[in-house]
Amino acid sequence: MDDYNGVVIEKQALPDSETEFVVQFNDMLSDVKAQGKQLVWFTLSIKQAAFIHLATQAGFVFHNCLEDEITLILRIQKEAYAPFVPTHSIGAGALIFNQQQQILVIREKLASNPGFKLPGGHIELGEKISEAIVREVFEETGVHSEFVGLQGFGSKKSFRFGKSNIYFLCRLNALSEQINIQDIDEIAEAKWCDVSEFVNDQYTSVFVSEIVKTLQHQQGFELVELPENNSPYKKHEVYFAGDIRKHLT
Amino acid sequence: MDDYNGVVIEKQALPDSETEFVVQFNDMLSDVKAQGKQLVWFTLSIKQAAFIHLATQAGFVFHNCLEDEITLILRIQKEAYAPFVPTHSIGAGALIFNQQQQILVIREKLASNPGFKLPGGHIELGEKISEAIVREVFEETGVHSEFVGLQGFGSKKSFRFGKSNIYFLCRLNALSEQINIQDIDEIAEAKWCDVSEFVNDQYTSVFVSEIVKTLQHQQGFELVELPENNSPYKKHEVYFAGDIRKHLT
């Protein structure tokens, strides 16, 4: 039983052979329907992949997956509310300046655009934005930095596989200026560059140019640690607008 | 061929029978390895689910899925970089006040906590945050509103199925005050409430109470339409910190 008037089948409860699976599965579905449940969902390990097509033949659809397991779902009532499906990947880009107010930019080896772009990359599953961007900047440029705040983001629909992407713009302080690319497979070049040169370069994406011009002097969301963020529902990261420190005692 | 020194197998190129699939699949893998490729990935429709376990037996792992298709991936070189996997679901909560500066709150029928909470819910795949939250507020309370901006967010690791969740706090203006719950299956009660009463109520989550106290007077990210956001890479929504209008002409 779950929170959605549904039924969860435990992996351990599943039989070993396909024949047994079909029998038990059909019995279970009859029971569930008789009970007036709205949905059934279960997760198979990748080793149980042979059962997937038996479930899809019974009307189950894919719900979500990790590398080594997949969750399938059957809506018995068409309008049944099912738990969310992950819809977004998250990326981050860095706005990072040195003492001379030059901006740090990189050029990728495989990019179709020959121009420079902001350092950054994909946030791995479970990683904090504020830590991922410091890591990415170091890998791509060798520059050490500290996270200051978020200054904006853009979302993109249908980024890949029908899912969306959010790209957070992070403000960082440079703690060192020496360029020393770590990820030499991906990054062709990194440099400190006058802002006017970067935003006016013919190969700089107009969107990135707009971002830099607009956000270089803005204050955004700060990373905050709320005193009461310590329950079982503890948030991984909390970002709030404005100067919130005056509100927290 | 793809951007990652990998190979994409087209769905249409796959045979109909499992026997043919195994033969062609093994030939293809030998070719790919001989070519020094780093990874192979392909997407099966749910009707081709019988091929999934043949691929997993050959070392493929699940990558991501929609309801009716799944993408599998094989890293030929262990360190091969594969395209991102969706990691996050997105939700939104509303900070919405009426003329008397009362806050709009709801109580859910099935919630384990008997207290009130902020209206809001899950952002559907492809939906805009700014539109989803107006929809959710209307469904849960009958109140019409307009989106003002984002005031913060929290992320949560391991929300469900090992994936994460981001919960955006939206500021809305009420355009009507009449309570008229549309989603009577989910929502037990909705009301306008003095902020002090809500944040001090014993059943209000301490975290939500902190959010409301901290953010009720803050200005956050604004929804902006950048003039150059019209390429094939057009962003779905763009949020920027501060009063950005003075920068856009």
* pLDDT, tens digit (0-9, with 9 covering 90-100), for B219-234: 788 888 877 777 766 7
Spatial neighbors of B199 by CB under 8 A, at least 6 apart, are B209, B212, B213
Nearest residue of chain B to residue A225 (CA atoms): B154
Identify which of A33, A34, A14 has the alpha carbon closest to the alpha carbon of residue A24.
A14
Q: What is the pLDDT of residue A12?
A: 67
Q: What is the pLDDT of residue B242?
A: 67
Q: How confident is the model at residue B4 (pLDDT cuts 50, 70, 90)?
A: low
Q: What is the pLDDT of residue B133?
A: 96
B3 or B129, higher pLDDT: B129
B248 contacts in chain A (CB < 8 Å): 214
B120 or B156, higher pLDDT: B120
Question: Looking at residues A137-158, what average pLDDT do you find?
Answer: 91
B157 contacts in chain A (CB < 8 Å): 126, 236
Q: Rounded CA gap, A6 and A76, in Å?
A: 9
pLDDT more than 90, % of chain A: 41
Contact A241 B218 (CB under 8 A): yes
Contact A238 B125 (CB under 8 A): no
**Distance (Å) of CA B198 to CA A222, B93, B202, B209, B212:** 25, 15, 9, 7, 9
Nearest residue of chain B to residue A213 (CA atoms): B247
Which amino acid is located at A72 in the chain? L
* pLDDT, tens digit (0-9, with 9 covering 90-100), for B92-109: 999 999 999 999 999 999
* pLDDT, tens digit (0-9, with 9 covering 90-100), for A185-215: 899 999 999 999 999 999 998 888 888 988 8
Q: Rounded CA gap, B37 and B75, in Å?
A: 9
Q: What is the pLDDT of residue A165?
A: 86
Contact B213 A66 (CB under 8 A): no
Contact B156 A235 (CB under 8 A): yes
Q: What is the pLDDT of residue A198?
A: 96
pLDDT more than 90, % of chain B: 41
Count of CB pairs separated by less than 8 Å, A with B: 256
ipTM of this complex prediction, to 2 decimal places:
0.78
Facing residue for A219 by CB, picked from B61, B242, B248: B242
DSSP B40-60: EEEEEEGGGGGGHHHHHHTT-
Contact A221 B218 (CB under 8 A): no
Identify which of A167, A43, A151, A57 has the alpha carbon closest to the alpha carbon of residue A96.
A151
A66 contacts in chain B (CB < 8 Å): 62, 161-162
Contact B67 A68 (CB under 8 A): no
* pLDDT, tens digit (0-9, with 9 covering 90-100), for A9-48: 766 667 778 888 888 888 888 888 888 888 888 889 999 9
Lowest mean pLDDT of A242-246, B86-90, B145-149, name the range: A242-246
Q: pLDDT at residue B217 above 50? A: yes
Q: What is the pLDDT of residue B229?
A: 75
Looking at 3.90.79.10, 3.40.630.30, 3.90.550.10, 3.20.20.70, the CATH number of the domain B88-218 comes to 3.90.79.10
Question: Looking at residues A233-242, what average pLDDT do you find?
Answer: 78
Nearest residue of chain B to residue A60 (CA atoms): B67
Facing residue for B52 by CB, picked from A49, A84, A227: A49
Q: What is the pLDDT of residue B199?
A: 93
CB-side neighbour CA atoms (13 Å) of B48 = 22
Looking at 3.10.450.50, 3.20.20.105, 3.30.360.10, 3.90.79.10, the CATH number of the domain A88-217 comes to 3.90.79.10
* pLDDT, tens digit (0-9, with 9 covering 90-100), for B231-248: 766 788 888 886 544 444
Instruction: Estimate to the nearest angstrom the gap between the alpha carbon of A180 and the chain centroid.
Output: 27
Facing residue for B84 by CB, picked from A160, A162, A210: A160
Q: How confident is the model at residue A245 (pLDDT cuts 50, 70, 90)?
A: very low
Helix (H) or strand (E) holding B214: helix B206-215
Nearest residue of chain B to residue A111 (CA atoms): B3
Q: pLDDT at residue A134 above 90? A: yes
Question: Looking at residues B125-144, what average pLDDT do you find?
Answer: 94
DSSP B64-130: EEETTEEEEEEESSTT--------EEEEEEEEEE-TT-PEEEEEESS-SS-S-B--EEEPPTT--HH
Average pLDDT, chain A: 85
CB-side neighbour CA atoms (13 Å) of B198 = 26
* pLDDT, tens digit (0-9, with 9 covering 90-100), for A83-127: 677 888 899 999 999 999 999 999 999 877 889 999 999 988 888
Q: pLDDT at residue A247 above 70? A: no
B126 contacts in chain A (CB < 8 Å): 87, 157-158, 164
A6-75: CATH architecture: 3-Layer(aba) Sandwich (3.40)
Question: Looking at residues A142-166, what average pLDDT do you find?
Answer: 85
**Distance (Å) of CA B96 to CA B33, B119, B210, B215:** 58, 9, 16, 11
Instruction: Estimate to the nearest angstrom the gap between the alpha carbon of A171 and the chain centroid.
Output: 19
Q: Where are the domains of chain B?
A: 6-75, 88-218
A160 contacts in chain B (CB < 8 Å): 83-84
Q: What is the pLDDT of residue B223?
A: 82
* pLDDT, tens digit (0-9, with 9 covering 90-100), for B58-71: 899 999 888 899 99
Q: pLDDT at residue A179 above 60? A: yes
Most confident of A70-79, A197-206, B8-17: A197-206
Facing residue for A50 by CB, picked from B53, B123, B221: B53
Facing residue for A164 by CB, picked from B126, B156, B239: B126
Q: How confident is the model at residue B189 (pLDDT cuts 50, 70, 90)?
A: very high
Facing residue for B226 by CB, picked from A49, A125, A207: A207
Smallest CA–CA distance, residue A23 to chain B, in Å, is: 18
Smallest CA–CA distance, residue A93 to chain B, in Å, is: 14
Nearest residue of chain B to residue A222 (CA atoms): B152
Smallest CA–CA distance, residue A20 to chain B, in Å, is: 17
Q: What is the pLDDT of residue A249?
A: 38
Q: What is the pLDDT of residue A159?
A: 63
Q: How confident is the model at residue A4 (pLDDT cuts 50, 70, 90)?
A: low
Nearest residue of chain A to residue B240 (CA atoms): A152
